[in-house]
Chain A
Amino acid sequence: MTVFSFHINGDRVEVAAPDHWTLLEVLRYRLGLTGTKQGCDKGDCGACTVLVDGRPWLACLTLAKSVEGREITTIEGLMPAHRKSGGAGADPLQDAFDRCGALQCGFCQPGMILSARALLARNPRPTRVEIRHALSGNLCRCTGYTQIFEAVESAVAQACGTTTAARAWEAQRERACEREDTP
């Protein structure tokens, strides 16, 4: 057992855990930060993505001891950071994922949002290709990726004060609503 000293979501945290634990185990089973998901546990799926010094990082392959003293951000840290910097509500990316229905079961969502957050931090106006590339290490097994990419584009558009084009499913829904309204 070792006492680790971490910088997580802006807080300095001291936590006792076995030496051979991964960062993922410490986050979930010592600190209760269960937003970081445990998926394949061997680096294939990206569900355990966190940010280490602003870069997407796989917590399941990271020895806890190796990230002592580095800045770690989990999904739980996005909203407080957004509010601390003067924003209201959730992080704009979380909001966009919600708005665009960019989830089904939600398991991949924390990793997706953190990979997208790191992308927007270094490239505030990415193209669709750049978004696809940045999220290529995160697997979604439910929805396909279209609405996830659209959510990132929507957050970018909102930050630029513009709107994205209506998505195919939105037009379909509107037509369906019109039909239902027709007596």
Chain B
Amino acid sequence: MLRLPKFELRSPRTLSEAIQLLEEAGPAAMVIAGGTDLVPNMKHELATPELLVSLAHIEELRGVRREPEGALAIGAMTSLAEVAASELVQRFAPALAQACSLVAGPQLRAMGTLGGNVLLDTRCQWFNQSYFWRQALGFCMKKDGSVCHVVQGGKNCVAAASNDTAPALMTLGARLELEGPEGSRTTAIDDFWVADGIVNKKLGASEILTRIVVPPTPRGHRGAYGKLRDRGSIDFPLLGVAVRLDVDETERVAHADVVVTALAAQPKRVAKVGDTLRGQTLGSPEFESAVLAVAELARKQCRPLPNIPGDADYRREMVPVYVKRTLFAAARGDGPVHHV
């Protein structure tokens, strides 16, 4: 039986009150949104906050809205199930809707939030374990220890970014709006990550993610998300692939992007995708050859580590398979790609 350590829970009604609580308590405080990542981590004593500040009662953090200029503004506390079911998101940002629809299972999607998924802690098979288990192993550098069990003699933590929504938001060029004691700031999601598995995001002290803004997508925008996992229901990704294809009126690719996740500490954009696919007409033999070339590029550029369950060699072989399938799915205007 896994029991939670003691803590105090506060549920402010406004954002400023929440920031004030966080600032007063300093590092002893943590934010809780849906709790589907934090609560298991607390049960494993991976996080031991004395104060939890719940955002559940701050109404301004909920909902999906279309801004006048066409951008989608999604409140950080909007549940993953709501984002997946939103007609606006399905229409204008299909890769994001698909990614949300494949996070965990129905219960966790109803409880978990988009903001929480963006801020999901990195995962590693040597880290996401009980205190007893980790102690028996001598701990690791991400928590309570100093060594890495993934890369022998490794100096950097390589726990894997495992948030399905992050690569989808990267292909969409999303912006994150954050509110902290110093006021509000906006950052491109591409600039939010750091290649460090211990803390892989640039989130300031007492800062709260308030909104995720997806810029307007062109009329010919297509996107899809592919996810490899052990069980086709409730697992974290062994590999996640988000793709974007923007086509013109003649179905020729004007812009393309592929971002892969669950390999290392941050999601990885596959290089030279745009150059390879641009100008190809969907459905043509040249397009199909270009997709295969992109899959090969991804295979060469992605090297999964034995950081999460699932054989690293198998996951590497699956990179081109999922890149290819997800690109074809986006071209057809369907998806998501998964095995159930």
Q: Which A residues lie at the B interface, using CB under 8 A?
A: 18-22, 25, 38, 41-44, 46, 49, 55-58, 61-63, 65-66, 115, 132-134, 136-139
Contact = CB atoms under 8 A, between A and B. Distances in A.
A183 to B, nearest CB: 49
A133 B232 CA distance: 10
B24 interface: no
Given A19-B7, A66-B11, 9 more contacts: A18-B6, A20-B5, A25-B3, A42-B39, A55-B110, A58-B108, A61-B39, A63-B39, A133-B106
Contacts of A22: 4, 39
B199 to A, nearest CB: 22
A136 B56 contact: no
Most buried by A among B3, B6, B232: B3
B105 A21 contact: no
Given A66-B11, A136-B106, A61 B5 contact: no
Given A43-B108, A66-B54, A137 B4 contact: no
A66 B1 contact: no
A41 B104 CA distance: 15
A56 B4 contact: no
Given A21-B4, A41-B1, A63-B35, A137 B40 contact: no
Nearest to B232: A136
Nearest to A68: B11
Given A136-B232, A137-B105, A42 B2 contact: yes
B116 to A, nearest CB: 12
A42 B40 contact: yes
26 contacts: A19-B7, A19-B8, A19-B9, A41-B2, A42-B39, A42-B40, A42-B43, A42-B44, A46-B234, A49-B107, A56-B106, A57-B110, A57-B111, A61-B35, A61-B39, A61-B40, A62-B111, A63-B35, A65-B9, A66-B11, A115-B107, A133-B106, A136-B340, A137-B104, A137-B106, A137-B234
Contacts of A43: 36, 39-40, 104, 107-108
A123 B304 CA distance: 41
B184 interface: no
Given A22-B4, A66-B11, A137 B233 contact: yes
Interface in B200-255: 232-234
Interface in B107-140: 107-108, 110-111
Contacts of B234: 44, 46, 136-137, 139
Interface in B28-67: 32, 35-36, 39-40, 43-44, 52, 54, 56
Given A41-B1, A136-B232, A62 B43 contact: no
A18 to B, nearest CB: 8
B176 to A, nearest CB: 25
A44 B39 CA distance: 13
A87 B43 CA distance: 42
A136 B103 CA distance: 12
Q: Which are the 6 A-B pairs with shortest beta-carbon distances?
A: A137-B105, A136-B233, A42-B40, A41-B2, A61-B39, A56-B107
